[in-house]
Amino acid sequence: MVKIAAVYTALALVEPLKKIFKEVFPEAQLVNIVDDSLIGEVISKDGPTKSVKRRLLMCYEIGFESGADAILNTCSSVGEVVDLLQPLFDKPIFKIDQPMAQEAVKMAEKIGVLATLPTTLGPTKRLVLSEASKLNKKIEIKDALAKGAFEALMKGNLAEHDQLIKQAALELASEVDAFVLAQGSMARMEKELASLTGKRVFSSPEMGVRALKQYFMGGGR
């Protein structure tokens, strides 16, 4: 059985991702490693600090020491830390949002990046541009921040969280061909936003897990 250690910087995605693994990749044994102090520091310091990077390194080490065949980094705000730390390990660290970015640049030329945290906008935009560069494809990115949505989510106010995201999407809808949801916690809005805006909407959790399954079960190694 394949063993995957999912590393989280917040609690919001833990249960939804466990459900996705059960439905999409039941062959995997999932281990969850959570340090929900990380995202608070990333937000307050406007990006990953040295301390955040060291603690992520420890999380990855714990995951591999537990026997994991791969790490799944679930937080887009620290996705670029993966590039820094991957050379330290012989086994792969997957970014949950990379398959989403790959698919978005294949399908669209004008991409709207929606986020509920400012610290996620930059890394997600750079990831999308990086994937476009690999395809030698020129794209245009617009972004919108649903201010206050993440705070609403942390307070359990899903209605406010969802409404703020919908408002941000509508502001961009006429300027883009598709949307990328910068955070996994926004994935539950995918179908509703597609219906509301008439645009293709890409989210990371299920696409990330499907890519993991393809890697391990489809001969990707």
Compute and round to an integer the Cα radius of gyration of the chain. 17
Is the predicted pLDDT of residue 181 greater than 70, yes or no?
yes
| pTM for the model | 0.93
User: What domain range is 162 assigned to?
Assistant: 98-203
Mean pLDDT, residues 29-40: 96
- Judge if 25 and 70 occupy the same domain: yes
Burial class of 208 by CB neighbour count within 10 A (0 to 12, 13 to 18, 19+): buried
Is the predicted pLDDT of residue 3 greater than 60, yes or no?
yes
- How far apart CA 199 and CA 196 sit, in angstroms, is 8
- Give the pair of three-digit tokens for residue 24: 């999409």
List, for residues 52-63, the tens digit of each pLDDT value.
999 999 999 999
pLDDT score of 218? 79
List, for residues 111-134, the tens digit of each pLDDT value.
999 999 999 999 999 999 999 999
> Residue 154's domain is classified under what CATH number?
3.40.50.1860
- Judge if 75 and 103 occupy the same domain: no
